[in-house]
Amino acid sequence: MVIKSLLLSLIFFLAGLIPVFSQEKPGEKPGDIVAGSKKVETCLGCHGIDNYKTNFPELYRVPKIFGQNVGYLMASLKDYQSGQRKNPVMVATAKSLSDQDIKDIAAYFSSFTVEPQKSLKSIENKRAQDIIAKGNCMVCHGDDFSQNQDLSIPKLAGQYADYMFASLKSYKNNDNIYWGRGNAVMAGVVKDFNLNELRLVAHYISQKAGTLQTLQHSRFRSK
């Protein structure tokens, strides 16, 4: 009995550790997947519908966020909160979230890990590969655009092409009050490429096998 309860407390202890993020300060609560699952109902109205489109500032699909890296989910939500990212819907959404909500929600969406899907079709494309080489994309985004050492860098493989094109353009545009992103790293990357090149590379990466998904419903799971 004693051993059993020791084991049980060990399991609970470890389960509590799973969602812990790297930069936890003492006294702060780590992100909690189950708590997160109860805070995402509104998100699913857009992020839970396959191919759901937004029409601002142009028509493109709402990004896949199930399976995205935890640190990146938190960083992007904080950037919408601070105005570093300027999409009006996401700014309003992020401003309604507390720091704890952001941690829980990021823990929830990042917990959906699946095997990479197959690449959609043959994706040999010399021009896209040249752009990737010139932009050193794989140094940060990983060889397969799906695994990063640094969880604050987004997974890209299998993300919607039109969304990635819009996001790449937005790193070029930070002077509009409703639209644009201020991230200095990606601003430095995209300035070397024209829009045709960015469209091409977004399309190419979207066809790679990845683990990002759009799921219809929150599948309440406890880990």
Sign of the torsion formed by the C-alpha atoms of 19, 23, 26 and 27: negative
What is the CB neighbour count within 10 angstroms for residue 90?
19
- In the complex, least distance from residue 204 CB atom to ligand HEC, rounded to whole angstroms: 9
Q: Whose Cβ is closer to ligand HEC: residue 33's or residue 131's?
A: 131
Q: Whose Cβ is closer to ligand HEC: residue 35's or residue 153's?
A: 153
Helix, strand and coil content of the chain, in percent to the nearest 5, comes to 50, 5, 50
Instruction: Give the chain's largest Cα–Cα span.
Output: 67
Q: Whose Cβ is closer to ligand HEC: residue 11's or residue 120's?
A: 120
Query: Cβ-closest residue to ligand HEC?
Result: 135
Query: CB of 211 within 8 A of CB of 113?
Result: yes
One-letter amino acid at 211 equals T
Q: Whose Cβ is closer to ligand HEC: residue 89's or residue 195's?
A: 89
**Burial bucket for residue 144 (CB in 10 Å: 0-12, 13-18, 19+):** middle
- In the complex, least distance from residue 124 CB atom to ligand HEC, rounded to whole angstroms: 17
Contact footprint for ligand HEC (CB under 6 A): 40, 42-43, 45-47, 54, 62-63, 65, 73, 75-77, 79, 85, 87, 89-90, 93, 105, 131-132, 135-137, 139-141, 153-154, 156, 164, 166-168, 181, 183, 185-186, 189, 201
